[in-house]
Structure 1
């Protein structure tokens, strides 16, 4: 029996790829340093998920707490940004070592900053790196690069970082483990009668009002940041679950597809959210012109744009930019994220995908715009006149 059996079980959403965020309060020992006490069950969940053919990316706090513990007996450490950056640099190694000691697979450290996620090229590189690590059966452990971030460019907390990473890797689910069993109608530390909320359909002001401040002396977040993260993930079509990472039975139940905690629903599917964004986000100012056959294929909504159907490229755009795709009659057919810059697309006009590396000397993939990065704006055009 677990400590959270008073919270009714509910089915965990189906998933094949997830982000698991683990807070400092689950890793920091009472006397300082890091402890595997709660991390062991979480690591076992990750291993069992991998054995079932699922992929998990960890977003782990704990570096600052680990660094502070290493210096506890030798120095008084301030709380300004420079001191925190020093502690993060010192504590990264033991934090990664903890996860490696609990994993039979290799563990890779991935440090991200705000700049990595707002710069489109670096964003794509970060995504490619994480996808590459998953393809190699490596466990990525992500953290904010506190050692170089400055206040105005900090992501702020690892709850929100986890939501951003979930969208970055096209995750199906965001799991947030903390020392709180669920979202409660009121702060359970002040109101023992507060009832847990099993399901949240949407993040509203009333839901936000249920959240208190941080309950930890080592973490930077609280229930409010977890709800903010759930809102970000929901906007990308990704549901979020909040659960007690201290309770081994609760963690084990997750592996059986059962949640004792709070499920924050996403308003739509991940693909619906992505397609909506592709249709409505401002484009980079470039266009790719395609022939009638390619327009028909894209209009069906299930095809990627290949070089052979391209007639030309106009304007200016870089790899990863959102571009308009028009047919030979100048009608908008679709919008999508180009895998290649405008100069590269012009060199690939009419070519077969297998020629990309020969023409450019490298390849970002066989598709100029992949179908997952493309949203149609018109149905398929009528057949060409004989």
Structure 2
């Protein structure tokens, strides 16, 4: 575990510039000594979130603590059943007080979002979760995300909120992943066992040697340790997102985050978030269907600053489903862009040439005004032919 001395031995470094961040808060920072939850450390983290909002930035919160809160509610009762079932029951009980804690500390409305790994593996559910979180951020709401432990049997057994936070960071196109725990940094060895271990401030790349420095779970309350934090940082780096590991129980460290400085470990990403996402969009396998657009839409999409709206669609070739990668071509069948379609081929045919405001009337529902959102699209030029 980190100490005050080791925290202040860490150099102060600048955080990468960010507009949207995912903040993961571990159970140890919320659990009270006598059971239940406490705002002792959470209040400083909430102040950091408020300061970020005041700077025009967006924060998505991934919070542990539901099981600890549920256990406190049943401290006078033995929880029966298997350990897994017991944890599911405790998670269900503890979600409400955990959300209530964050709402009591937040200057903005708080929205609870429960996810499973299945939600993030299936493209349609992935897009639904992505659209919901985008809308919450647009409405200036603080999303508080947790794994849906009550129903996600395999995920609860195998998953943890560190890795969930990394997946969410990619989901919402975050620029930075912040992981707050009771550990102040990555060490050269487990500091609980090796008193000569020293903190590492800067990790250019996560290698097997870096993983070897990580110990196991450091808490009887939480489910993750430094290894899961490095796993999360690896996932984030693959999406072009840097990760900052820091001690969330040190108020000075948390306050410094608001000024853009870090006392902790910064894990770099090899490229920018946009570079990583655009590369994936350009090279991921596409569905056999294609969307044909008119000249005006082709020019707007080629400039790289526009979404594809129904009015610009003139034809749909082949078949694809909501969430599939599709090629967008001009009248000469030259590839203009590739992206994730918000609607299936049958739906896009019905919407072709219509205004976005007509979507709900035409389909009876709406997934948004764009056929392909610009954040889910990469231009590829007009030199390639789709035929």
Q: TM-score, normalised by structure 1?
A: 0.92
Asked if 1:334 corresponds to 2:337, the answer is yes
Query: Which piece of structure 1 moves more, 150-159 or 17-26?
Result: 150-159
Task: Say which of 150, 158, 162 aligns to 1:159.
Answer: 162
Between the aligned partners of 1:183 and 1:64, the Cα distance in structure 2 is 26
Q: Aligned partners of 1:71, 1:6: CA distance in 2, in Å?
A: 41
Q: Deviations over 1:109-161 (max 9, x none)?
A: 11111221122222222122222222222221111010011126866000011
Are the equivalent residues in 2 in contact too, given 1:2–1:249 (CA < 8 A)? Answer: no
3-state SS, counterpart of residue 5 of structure 1: helix
- Post-superposition offset of 1:227: 0.7
**CA separation in 2, counterparts of 1:73 and 1:132?**
41
Q: Could you say which residue in structure 2 is the equivalent of 1:36?
A: 39
- SS state at 2:8 partner: coil
| Distance of aligned partners of 1:86 and 1:161 in 2 relative to their CA distance in 1, 3 Å threshold | same
Deviation at 1:73, TM superposition (A): 2.4
Moved more, 296-305 or 181-190: 296-305
Structure 2 CA distance, aligned partners of 1:312 and 1:155? 45
Deviations 1:152-207 (A, max 9, x none): 68660000111111111111111000111111111111222222111111211111
2-side partners of 1:103 and 1:372: how far apart? 29
SS at match of 1:4: helix
Matches within 5 A, 1:185-196: 185-196=188-199
TM-superposed CA distance for 1:306, in Å, is 3.2
RMSD (CA atoms)? 2.3
Aligned partners of 2:355 and 2:181: how far apart in 1? 51
Partner of 2:244: 241
Counterparts of 2:93 and 2:355 in 1: how far apart (Å)?
A: 50
**8 A contact 1:155–1:161 mirrored in 2:** no
Alpha-carbon contact 2:116-2:155 (below 8 Å) kept? no
**CA–CA separation in structure 1 for the residues paired with 2:374 and 2:138:** 20
| Cα distance change, pair 10–316 in 1 and its aligned pair in 2 (3 A) | same
Farther-moved stretch of structure 1 (228-237 vs 277-286): 277-286
CA contact (8 A) 1:116 1:123 kept: yes
The residue that corresponds to 1:50 in the other structure is: 53
Q: TM-score, normalised by structure 2?
A: 0.91
Specify which of 313, 324, 328 is matched with residue 325 of structure 1: 328
Quick one: distance in 1 between partners of 2:174 and 2:95? 25
Cα offset for 1:252?
A: 0.6
Counterpart CA distance in 2 for 1:352 and 1:70 is 52
Cα offsets for 1:88-120 (capped at 9, x unmatched): 111112211221222232222111112211222
Alpha carbons of structure 1 residues 304 and 36: separation in structure 2 relative to 1, 3 Å: closer
Aligned 8 A contact 2:20 2:59 in 1: yes
Tell me how far 1:292 sits from its aligned partner.
Answer: 4.7
Give the match for residue 231 of structure 2.
228
Distance 2:158 2:333 in 1: 41
Question: Is the 8 Å Cα contact of residues 144 and 155 (structure 1) preserved in structure 2?
Answer: no
Q: Which runs of 5+ in 2 are unaligned?
A: none
CA distance in structure 1 between the partners assigned to 2:5 and 2:382 by the alignment: 53
CA–CA separation in structure 2 for the residues paired with 1:191 and 1:367: 55
Q: Which residue of 2 aligns with 1:307?
A: 310
Deviates more, 1:47-56 or 1:355-364: 355-364
**Deviations 1:314-357, CA, capped at 9 Å, x for gaps:** 22222222112233333433211112211121123334445545
Rounded Cα–Cα distance in structure 2 between residues aligned with 1:234 and 1:184: 19
In structure 2, the residue corresponding to 1:65 is in which secondary structure?
helix
Q: 1:352 to 1:128 in 2, by over 3 A?
A: closer
**SS class of match (1:378):** coil
- Report if the CA contact (8 A) 1:2-1:247 is conserved: no
Answer whether contact 1:19 1:175 (CA < 8 A) is retained. yes
Whether the 8 Å CA contact 1:300–1:379 is kept in 2: the answer is no
User: Following superposition of structure 1 onto structure 2, how do residues 220-299 of structure 1 map, counting pairs within 5 Å?
Assistant: 220-299=223-302
Distance 1:255 1:77 in 2: 44
Q: Matched residue of 2:59: which SS?
A: strand
